[in-house]
Amino acid sequence: MRRKNREIESMQEKLALLAKCRVCRLAVADADQPYVVPLNYGYEYAEGVLTLYFHGAAEGMKIDILKKNPRACFEIDGEGALVDGGDRACAYSYAYESLIGFGSVTFVEDPKEKARGLNILMKHMSGRDGFAYSESDLARVCVYKITATSFTGKRRA
């Protein structure tokens, strides 16, 4: 990280940012063509490992790319604000906080694990968990996860 003075070093602060944000941008690559998509997510951090869960249709461009190349990058950012630079345009800046990470996407096939992943996602998004899913619900939805191999946080106050 170039600006070490802006690094979010505390895992507690990184997890707080994950908890308050609702959209994750997932970046994938199809040969020489990048593709990024905003997704709602759920997450868990256990034994030093961050896992993000996503869900959606079982087909489409993102799924096609991930089946060929499961490596991905993710980005999550909190609210920001313009830092007024007065009369000098180059003195303006932006206050922000973000996480960027890398990992590989795995498709969740086991119905019990799918339900677990969906409940992690629903708990993050709605504050509720313990939802029940029918066999047809689970068969219809695509659940996938990215296990982060690394992630960093950065902020400008």
On whether residue 8 sits in a domain, the answer given is: yes
For the segment 80-91, the average pLDDT, to the nearest whole number, is 92
Q: Residue 21 sits in a domain of what CATH number?
A: 2.30.110.10
Most distant CA pair in the chain: distance in Å? 61
Residue 51 lies in a domain: yes
Radius of gyration of the chain measured on its C-alpha atoms: 17
- Residue 129 confidence (pLDDT): 87
Does 121 reside within a domain? Answer: yes
Q: Note the pLDDT tens digit of each residue in 28-46.
A: 999 889 999 999 999 999 9
Q: What is the mean pLDDT of the chain?
A: 94
Share of the chain above pLDDT 70, in %: 97
pLDDT over threshold 90, residue 6:
no
Measured over the CA atoms of residue 35, residue 39, residue 42 and residue 45, the dihedral's sign is: positive
Domain membership of residue 20 as a residue range: 4-150
Residue 157: inside a domain: no
Is 93 within a domain? yes
**pLDDT one-digit tens code per residue, 134-154:** 999 999 999 999 999 999 999
Residue 132 within any structural domain of the chain: yes
pTM, full prediction = 0.92
155 falls within a domain: no
Instruction: Write out the E strands in 1-68.
Output: 7-8, 23-30, 33-40, 42-46, 49-56
> Total structural domains in the chain?
1
Q: Are residues 8 and 155 in contact, defined by beta-carbon separation less than 8 angstroms?
A: yes
Residue 131 has pLDDT above 70, yes or no: yes
